[in-house]
Structure 1
Amino acid sequence: MTELEYEKKIRRLLQSSDEVNQQLACELMKGNGIPQALHQELQEKHTLLCLENGFTAPFAHTEKLNLSRLQLTQIPPAMGYLPRLKFLFLPFNNLEELPAEMGHLSTLKRVYLDGNRLTSFPRSFRHLENLERIALVSNRLTQIPGEVFYMRKMRWLDVSFNKIKKLPTEIGKLQHMEFLTLSHNQIQYIPDNIGKLTNLTSLSLDHNPLSKREMDKVRDLLPNTKIRF
């Protein structure tokens, strides 16, 4: 079979509506390689199929990946090996956990995880040193994942609509933080270390059971921050 014939065969199998044929295409590519001419098509039209089968070559130059609203219950570990990924969209799925391999995404800057069922991050996430923005609205968090406090470039964090009960003193480590949204949680106490967030321009604390005393304390600690109670 010539290279062109092989490429046509793979394309025909991939374009089939039969999942068995699509999987057959993957098995053939595992044994014989991925046709270079199909890289873009695989990346754009068969993203999940590729990742589930461990194919990362089509994503060698991918900077943005959108897997929103696919009812995913798990993420293929291969996603952790996309060398240039900067923006990752995974909102409104059914994710309860993330693979440890995602800790290898050293170029990742923004990740959107709203509307899932997450309660924590893998320990490996502390290696995501370039991460600047995390959206975790409407998950099942009872605390901010401790791995976040290793992300010293973090500028924007939204953990609203969770069940967070308190903030740890480590919050003061995020000294590049500019926007912090903690609305609709169960927070009663704010640690004094939040005053170390001197770059913070916006802090949302509305719909938390904070006493007037706590509110006044936060205002004193962050005199230059726009605070919403």
Structure 2
Amino acid sequence: MGNKHVKQHLETAQKTGVLKISQLRLNEFPSALKTFPNVLKTLDLSENRFIEISDEIGRFTALKHLNVSGNRLTLLPEVLGALLKLETINAMNNMIERIPISVSQCKNLKQVNLSNNQIVEFPTMVCGLKHLDILDVSRNKIRTIPPEVGTLHATELNVNQNQISDISENIAICPRLKTLRIEENCLQLSTVLSKILKDSQICNLSVDGNLFNSKAFSELDGYDEYMERYTAARKKIF
């Protein structure tokens, strides 16, 4: 189903560089894309029935925006590393278990959304990407945030609704991290949280739904320093 619609979209995409073939019940990479000219800047395959993304996608080296959300993917292809101009990846609402190491080659990535998948390990391969602004790995099965997080350049990290019980104190040295969302995990009050409060640049910290109450959290060493950053950031907004 959807072949007629795909053909129409392909004709338009040759002129615009934008191909949106979402919600067409596709379960295979359209064969016409195998010979399609390398002009795509945006490729939207969302809300279909893909269980895998063909390696043919590696041909589209001009691609900046890739949306494969709402499919049945269990992994992303290694050839993503060839898409050096990629700025956004949206792969939310799939069944993805792991992220290819090759993503570390996508030096222009700004936003990566992997929310609502089956990821167990924190995606350290994105930590060194210096243009990354937002990393969303909420609603997965991550249990720990490893030491590599210290090299994460994102300004916002969302790890809400995982199974996190352990955070490396290196998260406090993230060079640009301002917003950390870590609600509904398995965190207990710890020195790491104190270090985040006291020594990091984080000015928007969401921790509700963990194994401690808000009163105990507000009594942690460093909470006053955090509130100073929080208040200063709010003043800039208003």
Q: Same fold (TM over 0.5)?
A: yes
The amino acid of 1:54's aligned partner reads K
Aligned pair 1:185/2:162, yes or no? yes
Aligned pair 1:49/2:30, yes or no? yes
TM-score by length of 1: 0.75
Aligned pair 1:117/2:72, yes or no? no
- Which shows bigger deviation, 218-227 or 185-194? 218-227
Identity %: 25
Aligned residue pairs, count: 196
Cα pair 1:87 1:108 within 8 Å, conserved: yes
Q: Note the 1:125-144 alignment, pairs <5 A.
A: 125-144=103-122
Aligned pair 1:209/2:186, yes or no? yes
Instruction: Quote the Cα distance in structure 2 between the aligned partners of 1:37 and 1:161.
Output: 36
Indicate the structure (1 or 2) with the bigger Cα radius of gyration: 1
Instruction: Quote the Cα distance in structure 1 between the aligned partners of 2:129 and 2:16.
Output: 34
SS in structure 1 of the partner of residue 205 of structure 2: strand
Match of 1:82 among 39, 60, 82: 60
Instruction: Quote the Cα distance in structure 2 between the aligned partners of 1:195 and 1:99.
Output: 32
Aligned pair 1:173/2:151, yes or no? yes
Instruction: Quote the Cα distance in structure 2 between the aligned partners of 1:143 and 1:190.
Output: 13
Match of 1:162 among 135, 140, 150: 140
Segments of structure 1 that go 5 or more residues without pairing to the other structure are 1-13, 23-35
Instruction: Quote the Cα distance in structure 2 between the aligned partners of 1:190 and 1:165.
Output: 9
Higher helix share: 1
Q: CA deviation at 1:40?
A: 4.8
Please report the RMSD computed on the Cα atoms of aligned residues, expressed in angstroms.
Answer: 2.9
Q: Note the 1:13-52 alignment, pairs <5 A.
A: 15=4, 39-40=14-15, 44=19, 48-50=29-31
Residue 105 of structure 1 corresponds to 83
CA deviation string 1:161-213 (max 9, x = no partner)? 11100011111112x31010011111112211111124222110110111122
The amino acid of 1:149's aligned partner reads C
- Relative to structure 1, the CA distance from residue 218 to residue 46 in structure 2 (aligned partners, 3 Å threshold; closer, same or farther) is closer
Instruction: Quote the Cα distance in structure 2 between the aligned partners of 1:44 and 1:160.
Output: 27
Instruction: Quote the Cα distance in structure 1 between the aligned partners of 2:121 and 2:65.
Output: 24
The amino acid of 1:49's aligned partner reads P
Q: CA deviation at 1:42?
A: 11
Match of 1:221 among 191, 199, 202: 199
